[in-house]
Structure 1
Amino acid sequence: MPRRRQAVTIKHVAADAGVSLQTVSRVINDAPNVRPEMTERVKASIEKLGYTPSIAAQRMSGSRSYLILALNDRARTIADWQARRGSDWVDQMLLGGMLKCAEHGYRMIFELVDTHNDHVTREINAALVALQPDGVILTPPHSDNPLITGLLAERKIPFARIGSLGEGGGIPLIMGDEDAARQATRHLIALGHRRIGFITGSGEYALSQWREDGWRAEMAAAGLATEELCQPGNFSHASGYRAASALLALPDRATAIIASNDEMAMASLAAAADKGLAVPRDLSVISFDNTPMVALGPTPMTAIDQPIAETVARAAELLIAAKRGDAIPAGPSVVLARLIERGSTAPAPALAARV
């Protein structure tokens, strides 16, 4: 039987270079006050032995843990996983965060926390004590939960807040939700739509209001009415179906709907079908998020593509920079969403009839 090759450890490097473990750790971590000749000797041993620093070795310096902790909403995430709805928010979050962390020799750890739990502070405290992360990434609705942001600020742990303007500390990052809603509304107006309905998201999320604000602003700029055309939703399929049904039951019904997420957009398609309306001939639909469910469905849907991976990557990058002591840009970092045109939007029915 061939002998299994023994993994090279920091001890092997220290022995080969003839230095202490602490010295090797300081070289790995680019610590100051290491003599150039000592640095060269350690790096030569690392190269010769093919050593890859582990997080444990990096943490020996005591200044950094080389871990970024990302928190997501437990209830909604588990519900999506169990229902197998095809939402890829978590996938994109991991893609952006993990790859960016790896570029800097970091690792990202993903945890689920229930923002409504009375024990949320205790849960997060336990994670912070166990992991000692160099920074924390918060996603909505955690981004604006004062219990969570207050705890992180009190413990002086850098934290990034996605979908938040950052009131009360932290590093805010937004995806241009208001502008994206304006893009979607402009696209429909250019197609001749005048009765453009809007389905809101959950009030727990600041971005829900930003999206509604963008729709209202663009409708006002075009001199179009919004009365009765805004219906409440909470990101669920059921709420989207109720809202779309209400918009399609108006005496002067909506000829287009902008839904604040993909699930409610899919529900809008179902509500239209139940009323005998064809998409996009009789009704145009635009969604937010652009997850696989809308791109690969029977009617590929025009959607606002949310740059989740890029935003989480930027959050990780800023946290790592903050831990190094680098200056962080003032104000929210913006990673802009964009409109992807597909087959669920077409000229308004009245215009199509004249052509």
Structure 2
Amino acid sequence: MTIQGDRIKSVTLREVAKATQLSVAAVSQILGKRTHLFSPATQKKVIRAAAKLGYRRNISAWATRTRKFGCVGLLSSAGGEHGRIFVEMIEGIQTELSSRDMHLTLTWLPEGSATSREYMPKTLREYMVDGLLVNYFVQIPQAMIDIIREYGIPAVWINSNWPDDCVYPDDEEATAHATRYLIGLGHRKIVYASYSWGTTQPSGHYSQEARLGGYCSVMEDAGLTSRRIEHPEYLPRCEREAFSLDWLRAPDRPTAVV
């Protein structure tokens, strides 16, 4: 890319090919996704020439020709109420995409906007991503599911337990494994404690039932009595310590907790 007056002139593949004395097709492949077909020396020659001339691939032309954008969108709940996002997760996604010469676009969904066709982000309204990762997994509105499916973008739902198009941890086996471990240490009075949802509220996520199921199944197989410790209502984090101390100081307190 060069600047002529107040105009920016884009460097073409033909100019890079001329500087390296290679064909336009060869230069296009080296600067595209077929670099491995050429020797390291030829790759270095083309890459250096492109950098010196200021060449940048015209992504608009490439997308028009291939109908691909080399981009995956991550749609996540703003504020974390319907789905938390962690730095490690973003790093893992970006690392995998980078290995495939792709990049990530992050979009937030504010509270109440998930079912609004008017608000749906640009990544859905316009054809600009090759696929979608949906990090919205607590109390998912059916209208939101319908809207995403209508747009026809391939989507994978993170931490949602569905028959297909999803990825999630094995919460049931996780608590089962933990319970078996505690039994192996000699514990018999093992309780299952959960403060995520109150007993009078509907479960907002599949993991609530799965984790409890894993614990109860192992306790039953071992001939031990299951015991749940939960609060009738959702318990804010600032109140959990006091609530925990109450049952930990009780005469029939457990010897281990899952």
Same fold (TM over 0.5): yes
Tell me, in whole angstroms, the C-alpha distance in 2 between the residues paired with 1:244 and 1:67: 46
Residue in 1 aligned with 2:215? 215
Deviations 1:299-320 (A, max 9, x none): xxxxxxxxxxxxxxxxxxxxxx
Structure 1: which 5+ residue stretches go unaligned? 31-42, 81-88, 259-355
Residue in 2 aligned with 1:12? 12
Matched residue SS, 2:252: coil
Mapped contact 1:69–1:137 kept (Cα < 8 A)? yes
Structure 2: which 5+ residue stretches go unaligned? 4-8, 35-43, 198-202
The one-letter code of the counterpart of 1:220 is E
Identical residues among aligned pairs (%): 19
Matched residue SS, 2:161: coil
Matched residue SS, 1:61: helix
Tell me, in whole angstroms, the C-alpha distance in 1 between the residues paired with 2:125 and 2:241: 44
- Change in Cα spacing, 1:195 to 1:117, as seen in structure 2 (3 Å) is farther
Mapped contact 1:66–1:133 kept (Cα < 8 A)? yes
Matched residue SS, 1:127: helix
Matched residue SS, 2:65: coil
Mapped contact 1:115–1:141 kept (Cα < 8 A)? no
Tell me, in whole angstroms, the C-alpha distance in 2 between the residues paired with 1:132 and 1:142: 27
Residues 61-76 of structure 1: matches in 2 within 5 Å?
61-76=65-80
The one-letter code of the counterpart of 2:244 is A
Mapped contact 2:189–2:254 kept (Cα < 8 A)? yes
Matched residue SS, 1:136: strand
Of 63, 85, 94, 1:59 maps to 63
Moved more, 62-71 or 191-200: 191-200
Tell me, in whole angstroms, the C-alpha distance in 2 between the residues paired with 1:204 and 1:242: 24
Alignment pair present for 1:241 and 2:241: yes
Residues 190-339 of structure 1: matches in 2 within 5 Å?
190-200=184-194, 201-202=196-197, 203-227=203-227, 229-232=228-231, 236-238=236-238, 240-241=240-241, 244-245=244-245, 247-248=247-248, 250-258=250-258
Matched residue SS, 1:182: helix
Tell me, in whole angstroms, the C-alpha distance in 2 between the residues paired with 1:57 and 1:142: 39
The one-letter code of the counterpart of 2:221 is A
Matched residue SS, 1:133: coil
- Change in Cα spacing, 1:208 to 1:141, as seen in structure 2 (3 Å) is same
Of 139, 151, 155, 1:155 maps to 151
What is the RMSD computed on CA atoms of the aligned residues?
Answer: 4.0
Does 1 or 2 have the higher relative contact order (CA < 8 Å, sep 6+)?
Answer: 1
1:48: Cα distance to partner? 4.2
How many residue pairs align between the two structures?
Answer: 230
1:190: Cα distance to partner? 1.8
Alignment pair present for 1:182 and 2:183: no
Tell me, in whole angstroms, the C-alpha distance in 1 between the residues paired with 2:115 and 2:149: 18
Of 100, 122, 126, 2:122 maps to 126
The one-letter code of the counterpart of 1:177 is D
1:54: Cα distance to partner? 6.4
Residue in 2 aligned with 1:317? none
1:159: Cα distance to partner? 0.8
1:186: Cα distance to partner? 1.4
- Change in Cα spacing, 1:142 to 1:255, as seen in structure 2 (3 Å) is closer
1:174: Cα distance to partner? 1.8
Mapped contact 1:98–1:107 kept (Cα < 8 A)? yes
Tell me, in whole angstroms, the C-alpha distance in 2 between the residues paired with 1:52 and 1:104: 18
